[in-house]
C-alpha cells in the first residue's frame, strides 16, 4: 500500500472532510471534483443516525495544517497531553485559525489524549497532578491511552478511581 508524503496525506484528508460534509448534507448529493478525488455523486444511504450529522474529530497539534483543519471542519479537537503551557499555546493557535476562517472558537470541543507514566504505574495522585493544569484551558474530555497489554485490567484498577478525582478538577 502506498504511503504518500505528508503534504499529500493532508490534501487527501482535507478532501475527505469536504466529501463527508457534502455527503451528509441531504440537499447536496451532487458530484465532487477535487484534486485527489472525483465522485459522480455523494449519496449517504442510509443517512447518519446523528443529527444533523456525525461529529468530526481531528486529533493532532500541528500548528499550520492540523489545527487549521480543525478550525475549518472539526467539531472536536483532540490534542496530546504534553504540558499545560504547550496545550495552551496550541489552543491559542487554534483560536487564531478560527478567527481567520470566521468560526467561533467556542463551537469546538477541546479534548486531550493522556498517555503519561502515571497510567502504567497506576498512580492516581500523579495522574491528577499531571492533568490538573489542563482544566484551565477548557479541556472538556480526557482520553486515556494505556500502554499495557491488558487494557481491561488497567481500566478496572486505574480508570475507575481516576474518573472521580478528575471530575473534581472541573
Read off the pLDDT of residues 88-138 as tens digits, 9 standing for 90 and up.
999 999 999 999 999 999 999 999 998 888 877 778 888 888 888 888 898
* Whole-number Å distance between alpha carbons of 73 and 65: 12
Q: Are strands 32-33 and 38-39 parallel, antiparallel or unpaired?
A: antiparallel
pLDDT in tens, 14-33: 999 999 999 999 899 899 99
pTM for the model stands at 0.87
Sign of CA dihedral 121, 123, 129, 135: positive
Residue 112 phi, psi dihedral angles, 5° rounding: -140, 140
Amino acid at each position: 500500500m502506498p504511503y504518500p508524503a505528508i503534504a499529500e496525506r493532508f490534501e487527501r484528508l482535507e478532501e475527505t472532510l469536504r466529501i463527508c460534509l457534502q455527503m451528509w448534507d441531504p440537499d447536496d448529493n451532487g458530484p465532487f471534483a477535487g484534486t485527489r478525488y472525483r465522485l459522480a455523486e455523494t449519496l449517504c444511504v442510509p443517512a447518519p443516525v446523528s443529527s444533523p450529522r456525525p461529529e468530526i474529530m481531528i486529533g493532532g497539534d500541528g500548528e499550520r495544517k492540523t489545527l487549521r483543519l480543525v478550525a475549518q471542519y472539526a467539531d472536536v479537537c483532540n490534542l496530546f497531553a504534553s504540558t499545560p503551557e504547550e496545550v495552551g499555546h496550541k489552543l491559542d493557535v487554534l483560536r487564531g485559525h478560527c478567527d481567520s476562517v470566521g468560526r467561533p472558537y467556542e463551537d469546538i470541543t477541546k479534548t486531550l489524549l493522556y498517555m503519561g507514566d502515571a497510567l502504567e504505574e497506576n498512580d492516581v495522585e500523579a495522574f491528577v497532578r499531571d492533568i490538573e493544569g489542563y482544566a484551565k484551558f477548557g479541556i472538556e474530555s480526557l482520553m486515556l491511552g494505556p500502554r499495557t497489554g491488558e487494557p481491561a485490567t488497567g481500566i478496572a484498577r486505574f480508570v475507575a478511581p481516576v474518573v472521580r478525582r478528575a471530575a473534581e478538577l472541573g
